[in-house]
Amino acid sequence: MILGDFLKAVLQLGDRRFRRVMGLGVLLTLALLIAVYAGFLALIQSVTPETIDIPFVGPVTGLETLLSWGSAVLMIGLSVFLMMPVASAFTGLFLEDVAQAVEDRHYPSLPSVPRMAWGDALVDAANFFALLIAVNALALILYAFAGPFVPVVFWAVNGFLLGREYFTLVAMRRLGRQGAKALRGRHGGKIWLAGILMAAPLSLPLVNLLIPVLGAATFTHLFHRLNRDA
């Protein structure tokens, strides 16, 4: 069951390699949030000749605005929207480390596999990031008609994308690209559901910092379970 896969991932959070990847993931998230928010403040200052006030933040005046408590609260709010692309970037940078830690602990009899070349991993991550942005841009049409169900549509769209990418990258380590694609095709519904269960908590500030690591571990367990039953 997917819930069992997730619980196994949670119980491994104390693993040294999990903590390392989680720390790097948090730093990546904070760097992205600060960069986007700094760009937002710079844009406001460039188009408005007079100082303006932002609710909970105050007057936009430069570095002191960026470092204010109001800005910290606003950046946490922005993480609701930015954690989807952060999760996509995570796949190419850290997923393999988490998958290896899970296999070392839960599947020690498996033969070792060579690491994916960094160049290939970055290309895959960049391609998926572009796909995530493009699909969400098209999904804006659906959001316009979804009314109160916008969060559900958002989770369904991004759950499909994240589930597809995380499962494929985990499965490719053992089966190759074509084998991963074939296994994914046989279990598309389960993978989509697992992706939705990953996408939904990515919308929760602070909690979402843990989800990329837990998602990578959960999909590693899911892959081995589905591959064993294939």
DSSP 90-132: HHHHHHHHHHHHHHHHH-TTSPP-PPPPHHHHHHHHHHHHHHH
* Helix, strand and coil in the chain, % to nearest 5: 85, 0, 15
**Two tokens at 12?**
């491994």
Residues in the chain, total: 230
pLDDT digit string, tens, across residues 69-101? 555 666 666 666 666 777 767 766 788 888 999
Q: What pTM was computed for the model?
A: 0.79
Helix, strand or coil, per DSSP, at residue 13: coil
- What DSSP string runs through 202-230? GGSTTGGGTHHHHHHHHHHHHHHHHHHH-
Q: What is the pLDDT of residue 134?
A: 83
Choice between 50 and 226, residue whose per-residue pLDDT is larger: 226
Segment 6-25 shows an average pLDDT of 85
pLDDT digit string, tens, across residues 152-202? 988 999 899 899 989 998 999 999 889 999 999 999 999 999 999 998 988
17, 213 Cβ separation under 8 angstroms? no
Alpha-carbon gap, residue 9 to 215, rounded angstroms: 8
H helix or E strand, kind and range, residue 14: none
- Structural domain boundaries of the chain? 2-14+78-229
